[in-house]
Amino acid sequence: MNRTCQSIAALAMEDQSSERSIKSKISTYFKAFDEENLPLPSNPFTGLTYAKSIAEIVRLYGDREALVFRDHRYTFRDLQNEADLMSARFAALGLKRGDHVSILLPNRPEFLWCWLGAAQMGLVVVMINTRLKGEEIAYQLDQSDSCAVIVPGQGAFRDFIGEIGELAPAVRTGKAGELGSGRLPKLRWVIALDHPGNDYSGVTDWSLPTEPGLDLPDMVDDVNCAGIIGYSSGTTALPKGAVLSHQVWRKAWDIGTPVDFTENDCLYMAIPLFGSMATMNGAMTLWVRGGKVVLGEQFDAGACLRAIEHERVTVMHLLPPIVRQLLDHPDFQERDHSSLRIGYVLSIDPDVLDAVSDRLGIPGMMTGYGLTETSTVLTRNRWDDPREVRHATQGRPLPDIEVSIRDPQNGEPLSAGETGEIWARGYCNMLEYYKKPEETAKTLTPEGWLRTGDLGFFREDGRLVFVGRHGEGYKSRGFNVAPSEIEHAINARVEVEASAVVGIPWPGENDIGIAYVKLRPRHELSEDTLLSDLKSRLASYKLPRHVYFIDEFPLTSGTGKIQKYKLRADAAERLGVTLEPTLARNLQGSLQPAS
């Protein structure tokens, strides 16, 4: 019995329900793997740190191309040399194992060199969203205990150095290495990769040539030590920093197994590098198998189509706006995109999935399930599984990972077909939320399970179906309501560009549903017309009580997720309802009614 089957068997034995239920769970899992004859290959990156993983990749694929950016091409040997140079430069500043270094950079190769060079020597890399506002950046720099931050200099799309100088005045007039002041008392170094200008005496200018003879520091040898702090996107509360270990390289190999990645695969990536989707579920999964990454500064449909044709791109991440922009671009029919084999789709909307399969023509349309706290993907189908399977489910657990569906109230395991909270256990779980012991204790159980806060269920064939966020669901007239179902019905109308449904408490009832709708340009739709249409397609308890039309949704910076907690607060303010204190925040001006 392989290790994954042992994990599922152990999970089933925890169930306090009937013996028949336990046997059903185990036999279903065996059937799923044994009858399909899917052996699980050994993982050569098990137990390898950043430094050892990079060395192994160079040993196998040293002179193959690892990265393409603009007109520059880098081999895996180049990648190692650049990472080593960064390690030496960090060490020359006096940074040592356990220090925290933030990266606040747009997509560029140096982001990758800084990340790899810092992590391999034992620094903890904090990846900060470049779309955050000044106060949000200050929160993450301070909360993460970052002693250094790496930024672009002159020519960037915003003045990062100037903004940090407003938070820590010593950046302008102080001495590098002694910058702690203002809002950022722990910050010692601001490192600019481009010339910072002449107004900042405290900035360390890394656009200058490297001093000769820098010593390479010792590399960390503990695969379980911290390597990354990735902040949550903030859709439900203030961001929390998930601390991830060097086990991410092991995970990268496992993510690539169901899609049969080889050294001949090529990833086009223009999603932000600060997100776990780009690094742990992106570049790393190609590099561990010798594949190539084509890096875009930001997504541009024309540039993407040219890269697909010229570089013979085989895989890319597809958010709904990316799918729409590719299909609408005038060059789409003219460019050769037949090389595309895998499309990682960040949506469960059937219309989006169908568009990827049928209009983009990608044979391996894939979804999956995971989160930053689990080093991204936990479950995935094979790329060549039947279409129905890939469109309707998020797949089976990856090797050596346990996934369980639990009753959200009492934590008891549920049987196939029953919807509950998704729990996960395995080597890939975060170590903690940095400096947030209460949140960590609520999320990580003493038995090692991570409570995701998401809802889903297992089919009888052992495949996970993601339903939605546990916190997004609500009760109407005593029935559980999944907002995603209502949103899909609303989005089916031609006038609608996007929608979001939230529940708020209502006197004398459980909750009522509120729908927020953004219309397509030059389209009109009334509340009465929409509700009348929904009434013909949804059970009465699922109907929203109110529909609000808005011009723009409140979104998380960079990742573009709808911040439903802001919608709930807005609905409560409109209707005079009191929410929990954590949600009753001042959002004046954050939502604009449709004009």
H runs (alpha helix) in 296-452: 301-311, 320-328, 350-354, 387-392, 437-443
Q: Which CATH class is domain 1-38+400-467?
A: mainly beta
Considering only 217-231, 252-266, 535-549, 570-584, which range has the smallest mean pLDDT? 570-584
**Rounded distance, CA 184 to CA 142, Å?**
6
Residue 501 structure tokens? 């449904």
**Rounded distance, CA 371 to CA 454, Å?**
10
With a cut of 50, say whether residue 34 has pLDDT above it.
no
Q: If DSSP codes are grouped into helix, strand and coil, which group holds residue 60?
A: helix
Residue 556: per-residue pLDDT: 76
Residue 461 structure tokens? 């064939």
CATH 3.40.50.1220 holds for 474-575:
no
Residue 48 structure tokens? 């390898």
pLDDT per residue over 76-115, tens digit each? 999 999 999 999 999 999 999 999 999 999 999 999 999 9
Considering only 126-135, 155-164, 416-425, which range has the smallest mean pLDDT? 126-135
pLDDT band at 478 (very low <50, low <70, confident <90, very high): low
Q: What is the mean pLDDT of residues 64-78?
A: 98
Q: What is the mean pLDDT of residues 146-161?
A: 95
pLDDT band at 40 (very low <50, low <70, confident <90, very high): low
11 close to 413: Cβ distance less than 8 angstroms: yes
Please list, in sequence order, all residues whose beta carbon lies within 8 angstroms of the beta carbon of residue 413, skipping any fewer than 6 positions away.
11, 12, 14, 15, 16, 17, 404, 405, 406, 407
pLDDT band at 559 (very low <50, low <70, confident <90, very high): low
395 close to 345: Cβ distance less than 8 angstroms: no
Considering only 2-11, 147-156, 199-208, which range has the smallest mean pLDDT? 2-11
Residue 13: per-residue pLDDT: 34
Please list, in sequence order, all residues whose beta carbon lies within 8 angstroms of the beta carbon of residue 159, skipping any fewer than 6 positions away.
none
With a cut of 50, say whether residue 176 has pLDDT above it.
yes
512 close to 504: Cβ distance less than 8 angstroms: yes
With a cut of 60, say whether residue 446 has pLDDT above it.
yes
Q: If DSSP codes are grouped into helix, strand and coil, which group holds residue 386?
A: coil
pLDDT band at 136 (very low <50, low <70, confident <90, very high): confident
Q: What is the pTM of this model?
A: 0.80
Residues 137-163 as b/e (b if ≥16 CB within 10 A, e otherwise) read: bbbbbebbbbbbbbbbbeebeeebbeb
Amino acid at 542: K
Whose tokens are 């810092």? That residue is 118
Please list, in sequence order, all residues whose beta carbon lies within 8 angstroms of the beta carbon of residue 205, skipping any fewer than 6 positions away.
153, 192, 195, 196
With a cut of 50, say whether residue 585 has pLDDT above it.
no
With a cut of 80, say whether residue 39 has pLDDT above it.
no
**Rounded distance, CA 361 to CA 357, Å?**
5
Q: How far is CA 103 from CA 129, 193, 273, 595, in A?
A: 9, 11, 10, 39
Residue 341 structure tokens? 């084999």
Fold of domain 50-62+71-227: Rossmann fold (3.40.50)
Domains 1-38+400-467 and 50-62+71-227 share a fold: no
148 close to 188: Cβ distance less than 8 angstroms: yes
Residue 514: per-residue pLDDT: 97
The CATH code of domain 256-392 reads: 3.40.50.980
Neighbouring C-beta atoms of residue 590, cutoff 10 Å: 14
pLDDT band at 560 (very low <50, low <70, confident <90, very high): confident
Residue 182: per-residue pLDDT: 83
Residue 19: per-residue pLDDT: 30
pLDDT band at 582 (very low <50, low <70, confident <90, very high): very low
pLDDT per residue over 333-381, tens digit each? 999 999 999 999 988 888 899 999 999 999 999 999 999 999 999 999 9
In the β-sheet with 450-458, what is the strand arrangement from edge to edge? 401-406, 420-426, 450-458, 464-469
Residue 558: per-residue pLDDT: 58
Neighbouring C-beta atoms of residue 185, cutoff 10 Å: 10
290 close to 64: Cβ distance less than 8 angstroms: yes
Kindly report the average pLDDT of the chain as a whole number: 88
Residue 532: per-residue pLDDT: 96
- For the chain, the structural domain boundaries read 1-38+400-467, 50-62+71-227, 256-392, 474-575
